[in-house]
Amino acid sequence: MNGVQYAGDFKIERAQLIAPSGSRTNLLTDVHIVEINIFEDIFKNSIVGSIIIADTKNVITQLPIMGQEFLRLKVATPTLTLKRDIIDFSDTSFAIQRITLRKEINIGGQVYELDFISQEAIKNTQRKISKSYTNAKGNVSKIVSDLLVEDDDGIKTSKDVFIEPTTGNRRYVIPNLNPFTAINILSEEAMSKVGQNDSTPSPHYLFFENKNGLNFRSLQSLYNQEVSDAFHVGDKGFDEKVTGNDSESGKLIQNYKRVLAYEVKTNNDLVFDSMSGILGGRVISHDIFKKNYSVRNYNYFNDGDFGKHTRLDDASRLYNKDRFESKNFANSLTLVVPTSKTSKDLDAQYVTKDKLNGQSDATRIDEIVLQRQQRILEYTGGLTIQMVIHGRTSITAGDLIHVFVPSLGDDEIDNELYTGIYLVTKLRHTFDVRVKQHEITMEVARDGLPVDLPSFGSQYSDVQKTKRPIQV
């Protein structure tokens, strides 16, 4: 870490504002940057952020700044030079969305906040797609590529795009939708070509942007990444008496791995979970050609994808089967899925054929829709830790990290329930120029528990059956 003065050190290498007229101002010299915030979220399609400026030269009037400008930004942790390790939007600038928080600080000076967003998000609001796809062009991953990169009526992004290949070629019509809306719909129908052990395709696709580019990827592919870093709550693993030539470097690395603050957020709400379909539901498949329907019931404990798809740290279920008197959750949520089946009970919209079955790679939406929904909701309503760390520009949403949480009262023993591998689901980079400190506030989540939930046992059942007299 030679070249880094302290944990959270950063350097703003470029901050330039460009007006629609072509006029430019260097924010590093013409104004005072107070703070920069950048937000990433694997459940959001675009990066957003804000930059707070102290303006004593009346740049806001001279440029002028109207909320229609472009922001070129490059921030890096010293010594990090690889493209994937820095935040670089020098060539793919942000769009200024609005001006907020305007207030005077002295005569002729004012502070204001510029909210910015990816240009792709702005383009998305301005474009509608009416287009049909069929044969080889009807592959979901190819459609997404067309909407993001190739189609002149689409986004036409110049950013890096990471698209995980999908299986199945189908007939697909986009009926006058924004590109992002179409891609979000496609994410609910996509199946990866390979899954765990190259055998089970994954339906858990997400469409999001992080500092590295636009991503259309399944949870499986995120899990296949190497764990990027490890962070410790408390003092376990830290040696304040590091000596030798690398003493300063060693202490610096240790500080980077410290969790400055954290909060365990277990969002399990049994009422919401039941109503949202995490525990189960019913899918009604309506065949629009045959004029009939079929019903498929889904149960988290019997029909979940445990054993079919990779989970973080070989996690166990978030819910205890013994907790529920009824194991029938079919009435919790009902979804209606339109289908069109052939005489061989194959999806007529798919066009890929083989000699044996007539169809080899069809996505059965009625079979995966509740599984996918349940898996996504496990992240938004399951085991989540919100934590603050010293910032590095190499960290991004979609990373895998290892978090060590100590047991209560003993820093030397890991808490088995909370220690393990997590997925970074959202984060906020905060570059505070006033104190020259970069911090990251991030949420990390897992789709299961590292330990099996114990059974309630017979003792609990006996207590439940015991009636106590009511005292007035």
Q: Write out the DSSP string of 266-335.
A: E---HHHHHHHTSSEEEEEEEETTTTEEEEEEEEHHHHS-BTTB--GGG-B-SS-GGG-S----TTT-EE
Gap between the Cα atoms of 373 and 438, Å rounded: 35
Distance CA 377, CA 387 (A): 21
Give the pLDDT score at 308. 64
Confidence at residue 168, expressed as pLDDT on a 0 to 100 scale: 79
Amino acid making up residue 14: R
- Three-point CA angle 403, 406, 412, nearest 5°: 115
State the amino acid at position 110 in one-letter form.
Answer: Q
pLDDT of residue 347: 65
pLDDT score of 338: 76
pLDDT given for residue 455 in this prediction: 59
Query: Strand 161-163 relative to strand 213-218: parallel, antiparallel, unpaired?
Result: parallel
How far is the CA of 270 from the CAs of 43, 237, 319, in angstroms?
22, 37, 10
Q: What is the pLDDT of residue 306?
A: 58
Q: Specify whether domain 11-123 bears CATH 1.10.1220.
A: no
Burial of 307 (0-12, 13-18, 19+ CB in 10 A): exposed
pTM of the model: 0.86
Separation between Cα atoms, residue 212 and residue 15, nearest integer Å: 18
User: ω before 64 within 30° of 0 (cis)?
Assistant: yes
CATH number belonging to domain 227-267+380-446: 2.40.30.150
Query: What is the pLDDT at residue 273?
Result: 66
How far apart are alpha carbons 159 and 148 in whole angstroms?
10
Question: What are the sequence ranges of the domains in the chain?
Answer: 11-123, 127-222, 227-267+380-446, 270-372
What is the DSSP code (8-state) at residue 386? E
> What strand order describes the sheet that includes 292-299?
292-299, 280-287, 334-339
Q: Hey, what are 215's tokens?
A: 């991503």
11-123 and 127-222 in the same fold: no
Pick the CATH number of 127-222 from 3.55.50, 1.10.287, 3.40.980, 3.40.720: 3.55.50
Count the residues in the chain: 472
**pLDDT at 303 (0 to 100):** 60
pLDDT at residue 313 in the model:
67
- Nearest in space to 358 (alpha carbons), one of 350, 366, 367, 370: 350
* Residue burial 41-58, b: 16+ Cβ < 10 Å; e: rest: bbebbbbbbbbbbbbeee
| Positions in the chain short of pLDDT 70 | 1-2, 107, 194-200, 236-248, 266-277, 302-310, 313-331, 341-364, 366, 381, 409, 451-472
Angstrom CA distances, 384 to 315, 422, 449, stand at: 14, 9, 11
pLDDT at 271: 66
pLDDT digits (tens, 9 = 90+) for 110-145: 999 999 999 999 999 999 999 999 877 888 999 999
Q: Looking at this protein, which amino acid is placed at residue 295?
A: V
Dist CA 449 CA 422 (whole Å): 11
User: Considering the chain, what percentage of its residues have pLDDT values greater than 70?
Assistant: 75
Determine the pLDDT at residue 257. Answer: 93
- pLDDT tens-place string over residues 391-433: 999 999 999 999 999 887 677 778 888 898 999 999 999 999 9
